[in-house]
Structure 1
Amino acid sequence: MEQVRGVVELTRPGNALAAGVLTFIGAFVAGGLAAPASTAVAVLATGAATGGGNAINDYFDREIDAINRPDRPIPRGAVTPRGAFVFSLALFAAAVGLTLLLPPIAVAIAVVNLLALLAYTEMFKGLPGVGNALVAYLTGSTFLYGGAAVGGDLATVSVLFVLAAAATMAREIVKDVEDVAGDRKEGLSTLPIAVGERTALGVAAVFVATAMLASPLPFLRGTFGSAYLVVLVPTLLGLGAGTYRSFDDPATGQTWLKASMFLAALAFVAGRAAVVV
């Protein structure tokens, strides 16, 4: 039973479920409910890939986790390192197999994501900002992947990708500012440690500004109507307020940024739902 629990924990089931939801949103925004089978395949593939990524990360981080996170499955002995590695490969194989059932552009996105994940784990981990950028890209790309899976309107989903990726990048930087004392003690080289906290927060603000500038495009292009704007306005207010608060209270700021990112996704869902209805 402990081994089964450990294997499940390796996948970070909450994260895998959240990634699947984002893929579903991307598919819905791009094509409504026109391709339910492809949407389901893409959601399952995303969950498997996310779980595999989390498992392989635990495999490579097992020595660090033995010190910092002894409660994780490998350090506490619930799963062997080899078992975690094989399990991650099985999940990646499942994700690839499912993705091959989808259009070529979805396959291309999946390949890029897998290569980016492996390159980060093996080559770029520890470089300031690179981890933040990878998390931001992968978060945004789940929307693109969902849209590509159903062969829908990628122009609109691309706006959601930019908005989500930029907002996530900002939040990841603010989280690093929040954790700077502990990260410095652990000898990590995050962006705030490398360039200074205020400079890092300025970089985060630039990403938020990018997200805010991109967000009205679906309305301006006539793709979505007033339903989109109704949810978008509080989203923009939340992004702005979260950025402002980050300079004196990073914990509150990053929480607002996270909430605003999910509001942004809901704005796109509301916009598409109004069109479908």
Structure 2
Amino acid sequence: MRDALRGIVELARLGNCVAAGGLTATGAFVAGAGGAVLPTALAAATTVFAVAAGNAINDYFDREIDAVNSPGRPIPRGAVSPRTALATAALWFAVAVAFAVRLPTLAIGIAAVNLVALVTYTSVFKGTPGLGNALVAYLVGSTFLFGGAAVGNPRAVLVLAALAGLSTFTREVIKDVEDVAGDREEGLATLPIAVGERRALWIGAAALGVAVTVSPLPYLSGTLGAAYLAVAAVADAVMLYAAYEGFADPAAAPRRFKYGTFLAAVAFVVGRAAVVA
């Protein structure tokens, strides 16, 4: 029983859930949430449960691939049955919907699109070269957009959403390079399998190059203060190094990308705080 409960918690990947909820709250803050505490909290909670459900769905559909690539995951090791994982995902999706319906119409629309995307990612899009990566990139970027929409100002976070999406695309391509063996055995046509590992890495690096190039825009336009530019430069450096590292060690690079995305979010927060002050 203890292993089963631990397995259910592991399905959610709590670290990812909390991080995603934090990104949504960051989007709300950058968009000027001010005293809009309730919609910010509802949006963050929606994101936490939606990501948990999406992760459980992903593990359900990926159970045969994980038996090769990640045998320690809850389903391959026998801690959670596929049926239990599916039921758990349905429950978490229901909780996410219960929170989301109290938000503005645009936020509800974004949540609805994202819930469908989370459900269909592994079963439909993951094996399509580049499209699965692009979908995950959108989902990460949309956490900021969702936070902005929750407080009625999504335009304020469009650049942040785009930067997060582009850097995530690069990270996902590198993760696909790491998982080539299991994906090929399962018959998936991921980007590295379709075009070759090195070429896929260069495509990912190009996407990151676009993100780094446009990252000074919020400062140059006067939207965010100089503190943003200083922290963003560090975030850019971390992610550029991760892209470089991906050519030699695809297993280590995705973790570094998460640090870079976190620093980018911090850059927007301190940049916004400087303007408000």
- Scaled by the length of structure 1, the TM-score of the pair is 0.89
Q: For each residue in 1:59-103, what CA deviation from the matched residue of structure 2 results, as whole angstroms up to 9, or x when unmatched?
A: 233344455544433344433333322221111111111111011
Percent of aligned pairs with the same amino acid: 57
**AA at the equivalent of 1:171:** R
Structure 2 residue aligned with 1:235: 235
How much does 1:237 deviate? 2.9
In structure 2, the residue matched to 1:150 is: 151
List alignment gaps of at least 5 residues for structure 1.
none
Q: Which residue of 2 aligns with 1:210?
A: 210
Rounded to whole Å, the distance in 1 between the matches of 2:26 and 2:172 is 22
> Does the CA contact (< 8 Å) of 1:128 and 1:189 recur in 2?
yes
Partners of 2:86 and 2:182 lie apart in 1 by 29
Name which of structure 1's ranges 229-238 and 266-275 shifts more when overlaid on structure 2: 229-238
Q: Secondary structure at the match of 1:222?
A: coil
What corresponds to 1:126 in structure 2?
Answer: 127
Q: How does 1:1-277 map to 2 (within 5 A)?
A: 1-2=1-2, 3-66=4-67, 68-152=69-153, 154-180=154-180, 183-184=183-184, 187-251=187-251, 253-277=253-277
**In 1, Cα distance between equivalents of 2:142 and 2:176:** 22
Q: Give the superposition deviation at 1:167.
A: 0.5
SS in 2 for 1:175: helix
CA distance in 2, matches of 1:224, 1:200: 34
Contact between 1:32 and 1:276, CA under 8 Å: does it hold in 2?
A: no
Q: What amino acid is the match of 2:128? A: L
For structure 2, list consecutive stretches of 5 or more residues without a partner in the other structure: none
For normalisation by structure 2, the TM-score amounts to 0.89
**What is the CA–CA distance in structure 2 between the aligned matches of 1:255 and 1:61, rounded to whole Å?**
20
* CA apart distance, 1:8: 1.7
Task: Report the AA paired with residue 124 of structure 1.
Answer: F
1:200-242 per-position Cα deviation (integer Å, ceiling 9, x unaligned): 1221122112212321221122111211112122223333343
Q: Residue 31 of structure 1: SS of its match in structure 2?
A: coil
Q: CA separation of 1:222/1:132 partners in 2, compared to 1, >3 Å: closer, same or farther?
A: same
Q: Which amino acid letter does the alignment assign opposite residue 243 of structure 2?
A: T
